Copies of this chain bind each other. A is one copy, B any other.
Protein backbone atom coordinates (compact mmCIF):
# COMPACT_ATOMS: atom_id res chain seq x y z
CA UNK A 1 0.00 0.00 0.00
CA UNK A 2 1.00 3.58 -0.56
CA UNK A 3 0.61 5.32 2.75
CA UNK A 4 0.62 8.95 3.88
CA UNK A 5 1.50 9.46 7.49
CA UNK A 6 -0.03 12.41 9.29
CA UNK A 7 1.88 12.89 12.54
CA UNK A 8 5.39 12.18 13.78
CA UNK A 9 4.96 11.33 17.46
CA UNK A 10 5.37 7.97 19.24
CA UNK A 11 2.42 6.16 17.63
CA UNK A 12 3.22 7.58 14.18
CA UNK A 13 6.86 6.56 14.47
CA UNK A 14 6.25 2.99 15.66
CA UNK A 15 3.46 2.38 13.11
CA UNK A 16 5.43 3.91 10.24
CA UNK A 17 8.49 1.78 10.99
CA UNK A 18 6.41 -1.41 11.33
CA UNK A 19 4.56 -0.77 8.04
CA UNK A 20 7.79 0.18 6.29
CA UNK A 21 9.37 -3.11 7.47
CA UNK A 22 6.37 -4.92 5.90
CA UNK A 23 7.36 -3.32 2.55
CA UNK A 24 4.54 -0.83 2.44
CA UNK A 25 5.56 2.46 0.90
CA UNK A 26 5.40 5.45 3.22
CA UNK A 27 5.11 8.22 0.64
CA UNK A 28 5.01 11.31 2.84
CA UNK A 29 5.22 12.20 6.52
CA UNK A 30 3.40 15.30 7.63
CA UNK A 31 4.15 17.28 10.76
CA UNK A 32 3.60 20.98 11.42
CA UNK A 33 7.07 20.80 12.94
CA UNK A 34 9.32 20.34 9.94
CA UNK A 35 12.19 18.83 11.94
CA UNK A 36 10.03 16.07 13.45
CA UNK A 37 8.65 15.20 10.01
CA UNK A 38 12.18 15.03 8.62
CA UNK A 39 13.46 12.72 11.36
CA UNK A 40 10.74 10.14 10.79
CA UNK A 41 10.67 10.58 7.00
CA UNK A 42 14.37 9.78 6.86
CA UNK A 43 13.85 6.47 8.70
CA UNK A 44 11.11 5.27 6.36
CA UNK A 45 12.43 6.88 3.15
CA UNK A 46 9.48 9.23 2.78
CA UNK A 47 9.15 12.88 1.88
CA UNK A 48 8.68 15.18 4.87
CA UNK A 49 5.97 17.84 4.47
CA UNK A 50 4.77 20.56 6.81
CA UNK A 51 1.53 21.44 5.04
CA UNK A 52 -1.36 19.03 4.46
CA UNK A 53 -2.12 20.59 1.07
CA UNK A 54 1.17 19.12 -0.16
CA UNK A 55 -0.22 15.56 0.31
CA UNK A 56 -0.03 13.37 -2.78
CA UNK A 57 -2.76 10.83 -3.59
CA UNK A 58 -2.18 7.54 -1.72
CA UNK A 59 -4.23 4.49 -0.71
CA UNK A 60 -4.22 5.20 3.00
CA UNK A 61 -3.96 8.36 5.08
CA UNK A 62 -2.96 7.40 8.59
CA UNK A 63 -3.75 10.10 11.15
CA UNK A 64 -1.57 9.69 14.25
CA UNK A 65 -1.78 13.06 15.97
CA UNK A 66 -3.03 13.97 19.45
CA UNK A 67 -6.79 13.62 19.86
CA UNK A 68 -7.44 17.34 20.05
CA UNK A 69 -5.86 17.84 16.60
CA UNK A 70 -7.78 15.10 14.75
CA UNK A 71 -10.80 17.31 14.00
CA UNK A 72 -8.69 20.02 12.38
CA UNK A 73 -6.75 17.47 10.31
CA UNK A 74 -10.02 15.89 9.13
CA UNK A 75 -11.35 19.32 8.15
CA UNK A 76 -8.28 20.12 6.11
CA UNK A 77 -8.37 16.70 4.42
CA UNK A 78 -12.03 17.32 3.52
CA UNK A 79 -11.04 20.45 1.62
CA UNK A 80 -8.49 18.45 -0.40
CA UNK A 81 -11.15 16.09 -1.86
CA UNK A 82 -9.19 12.97 -0.97
CA UNK A 83 -10.62 9.66 -2.16
CA UNK A 84 -8.17 7.30 -0.41
CA UNK A 85 -8.97 5.65 2.89
CA UNK A 86 -8.55 7.93 5.92
CA UNK A 87 -8.09 6.35 9.35
CA UNK A 88 -7.23 7.69 12.77
CA UNK A 89 -5.33 5.74 15.43
CA UNK A 90 -6.94 7.09 18.60
CA UNK A 91 -8.46 5.09 21.42
CA UNK A 92 -10.99 7.70 22.39
CA UNK A 93 -11.95 9.65 19.28
CA UNK A 94 -15.19 8.62 17.55
CA UNK A 95 -15.19 7.18 14.05
CA UNK A 96 -17.51 10.04 13.09
CA UNK A 97 -14.88 12.66 13.93
CA UNK A 98 -13.32 12.06 10.52
CA UNK A 99 -16.46 11.36 8.49
CA UNK A 100 -16.04 14.39 6.23
CA UNK A 101 -12.38 13.72 5.48
CA UNK A 102 -13.04 11.16 2.71
CA UNK A 103 -15.86 8.91 1.43
CA UNK A 104 -13.99 6.02 3.11
CA UNK A 105 -12.78 6.27 6.66
CA UNK A 106 -12.02 4.13 9.64
CA UNK A 107 -10.15 3.57 12.89
CA UNK A 108 -6.92 1.63 13.37
CA UNK A 109 -6.15 1.72 17.10
CA UNK A 110 -3.11 -0.10 18.47
CA UNK A 111 -3.78 -0.83 22.16
CA UNK A 112 -0.24 -0.46 23.42
CA UNK A 113 2.02 2.10 25.09
CA UNK A 114 4.59 3.59 22.76
CA UNK A 115 7.65 5.43 23.96
CA UNK A 116 10.62 6.80 22.11
CA UNK A 117 13.66 4.56 22.46
CA UNK A 118 11.71 1.38 23.28
CA UNK A 119 11.02 -1.05 20.42
CA UNK A 120 7.52 -2.52 20.12
CA UNK A 121 6.66 -6.04 18.98
CA UNK A 122 3.42 -5.49 17.08
CA UNK A 123 2.63 -9.22 17.24
CA UNK A 124 1.85 -8.53 20.92
CA UNK A 125 -0.36 -5.51 20.18
CA UNK A 126 -4.15 -5.85 19.94
CA UNK A 127 -5.41 -3.79 16.99
CA UNK A 128 -8.95 -2.39 17.24
CA UNK A 129 -10.64 -1.59 13.94
CA UNK A 130 -13.73 0.31 12.87
CA UNK A 131 -14.83 1.21 9.33
CA UNK A 132 -17.33 3.43 7.55
CA UNK A 133 -18.20 0.53 5.21
CA UNK A 134 -17.83 -3.25 5.39
CA UNK A 135 -15.21 -2.99 2.62
CA UNK A 136 -13.18 -0.52 4.66
CA UNK A 137 -13.22 -2.83 7.64
CA UNK A 138 -12.14 -5.72 5.43
CA UNK A 139 -9.25 -3.70 3.97
CA UNK A 140 -8.11 -2.61 7.45
CA UNK A 141 -8.42 -6.18 8.68
CA UNK A 142 -6.02 -7.42 5.99
CA UNK A 143 -3.50 -4.71 6.83
CA UNK A 144 -3.85 -5.26 10.59
CA UNK A 145 -3.29 -9.02 10.35
CA UNK A 146 0.06 -8.37 8.69
CA UNK A 147 1.10 -6.67 11.93
CA UNK A 148 -0.61 -8.75 14.63
CA UNK A 149 -2.76 -11.84 15.09
CA UNK A 150 -4.80 -9.91 17.67
CA UNK A 151 -7.31 -8.01 15.50
CA UNK A 152 -10.71 -6.92 16.82
CA UNK A 153 -13.67 -5.12 15.25
CA UNK A 154 -14.82 -2.80 18.02
CA UNK A 155 -17.36 0.02 18.11
CA UNK A 156 -16.34 3.53 19.15
CA UNK A 157 -17.96 2.96 22.54
CA UNK A 158 -16.18 -0.34 23.19
CA UNK A 159 -12.88 1.17 22.09
CA UNK A 160 -13.40 4.14 24.40
CA UNK A 161 -14.11 1.84 27.35
CA UNK A 162 -10.93 -0.09 26.64
CA UNK A 163 -8.92 3.09 26.35
CA UNK A 164 -10.24 4.38 29.66
CA UNK A 165 -9.44 1.02 31.29
CA UNK A 166 -5.96 1.16 29.76
CA UNK A 167 -5.38 4.58 31.30
CA UNK A 168 -6.42 3.21 34.69
CA UNK A 169 -4.45 -0.04 34.51
CA UNK A 170 -1.33 1.21 32.73
CA UNK A 171 -0.84 4.98 32.68
CA UNK A 172 -1.76 5.11 36.36
CA UNK A 173 0.45 2.12 37.22
CA UNK A 174 3.38 3.82 35.55
CA UNK A 175 2.61 6.90 37.62
CA UNK A 176 2.74 4.75 40.77
CA UNK A 177 6.13 3.41 39.65
CA UNK A 178 7.29 7.04 39.33
CA UNK A 179 5.94 7.87 42.77
CA UNK A 180 7.73 4.86 44.30
CA UNK A 181 10.91 5.86 42.48
CA UNK A 182 10.68 9.43 43.79
CA UNK A 183 9.98 8.23 47.33
CA UNK A 184 12.93 5.80 47.35
CA UNK A 185 15.29 8.42 45.93
CA UNK A 186 14.34 10.62 48.89
CA UNK A 187 15.20 7.73 51.24
CA UNK A 188 18.52 6.95 49.57
CA UNK A 189 17.30 3.50 48.48
CA UNK A 190 17.67 2.03 44.97
CA UNK A 191 14.52 1.80 42.83
CA UNK A 192 16.19 -1.09 40.96
CA UNK A 193 15.28 -3.54 43.71
CA UNK A 194 11.59 -3.07 42.91
CA UNK A 195 11.93 -4.03 39.26
CA UNK A 196 11.48 -7.82 39.62
CA UNK A 197 8.43 -7.21 41.79
CA UNK A 198 6.92 -4.80 39.25
CA UNK A 199 7.41 -7.32 36.46
CA UNK A 200 6.02 -10.22 38.51
CA UNK A 201 2.95 -8.19 39.49
CA UNK A 202 2.16 -7.65 35.79
CA UNK A 203 3.05 -11.26 34.91
CA UNK A 204 0.69 -12.68 37.54
CA UNK A 205 -2.42 -11.15 35.98
CA UNK A 206 -1.62 -12.63 32.57
CA UNK A 207 -2.96 -15.94 33.86
CA UNK A 208 -5.00 -15.05 36.92
CA UNK A 209 -7.74 -12.54 37.70
CA UNK A 210 -6.13 -9.48 39.33
CA UNK A 211 -8.58 -9.52 42.21
CA UNK A 212 -7.30 -12.98 43.18
CA UNK A 213 -3.67 -11.84 43.01
CA UNK A 214 -4.01 -8.94 45.45
CA UNK A 215 -1.39 -8.92 48.19
CA UNK A 216 -0.20 -6.32 50.70
CA UNK A 217 -1.28 -4.88 54.04
CA UNK A 218 -4.64 -3.50 52.86
CA UNK A 219 -6.05 -6.81 51.63
CA UNK A 220 -4.72 -8.49 54.80
CA UNK A 221 -6.44 -5.75 56.82
CA UNK A 222 -3.12 -5.34 58.62
CA UNK A 223 -3.89 -2.15 60.52
CA UNK A 224 -0.48 -2.02 62.22
CA UNK A 225 1.40 -1.78 58.93
CA UNK A 226 -1.16 0.58 57.41
CA UNK A 227 -0.73 2.92 60.39
CA UNK A 228 3.04 2.69 60.20
CA UNK A 229 3.04 3.49 56.49
CA UNK A 230 0.75 6.45 57.11
CA UNK A 231 3.16 7.81 59.71
CA UNK A 232 6.12 7.27 57.41
CA UNK A 233 4.34 9.57 54.93
CA UNK A 234 3.49 12.29 57.47
CA UNK A 235 5.85 14.72 55.77
CA UNK A 236 4.36 14.00 52.33
CA UNK A 237 0.63 14.71 52.65
CA UNK A 238 -0.17 14.22 48.96
CA UNK A 239 1.44 10.80 48.85
CA UNK A 240 -0.21 10.00 52.18
CA UNK A 241 -3.62 10.84 50.70
CA UNK A 242 -2.92 8.62 47.69
CA UNK A 243 -1.85 5.78 50.00
CA UNK A 244 -5.03 6.11 52.07
CA UNK A 245 -7.37 6.28 49.09
CA UNK A 246 -5.90 3.25 47.36
CA UNK A 247 -5.69 1.21 50.56
CA UNK A 248 -9.32 2.03 51.34
CA UNK A 249 -10.23 0.99 47.79
CA UNK A 250 -8.52 -2.37 48.22
CA UNK A 251 -10.21 -3.00 51.55
CA UNK A 252 -13.60 -2.09 50.16
CA UNK A 253 -13.18 -4.26 47.05
CA UNK A 254 -12.23 -7.24 49.16
CA UNK A 255 -14.91 -6.93 51.85
CA UNK A 256 -17.84 -6.81 49.43
CA UNK A 257 -20.25 -9.67 50.01
Which residues of A line the B interface, CB within 8 A?
Answer: 10, 66-68, 92, 111-115, 117-118, 120, 124-126, 150, 152, 157-158, 160-162, 164-184, 187-189, 191, 193-220, 222-225, 228-229, 232-233, 238-239, 241-243, 245-246, 249-250, 253
Residue of B nearest to A116 (CB): B212
Selected contact of A170 from candidates B194, B232, B249, B253, CB within 8 Å: B194
Q: Given A113-B200, A124-B200, A215-B115 in contact, is the A166-B179 Cβ separation under 8 Å?
A: no
9 residue pairs A–B, Cβ–Cβ below 8 Å: A68-B222, A92-B228, A115-B212, A152-B193, A160-B232, A167-B217, A177-B210, A182-B211, A242-B249
Selected contact of A92 from candidates B161, B189, B225, B238, CB within 8 Å: B225
Interface centre among A125, A160, A176, A207 (most CB of B within 10 A): A176
- Closest CB in chain B relative to A7 CB, distance in Å: 13
Q: Which residues of B contact A204 (CB under 8 A)?
A: 113, 115, 118, 174
Q: Which residues of B contact A207 (CB under 8 A)?
A: 118
Q: Is the CB of B162 within 8 A of A184?
A: yes
Q: Is the CB of A178 within 8 A of B253?
A: yes
In whole angstroms, how far apart are the Cα atoms of A208 and B192 in the complex? 10
Q: Given A193-B152, A222-B67 in contact, is the A172-B161 Cβ separation under 8 Å?
A: no
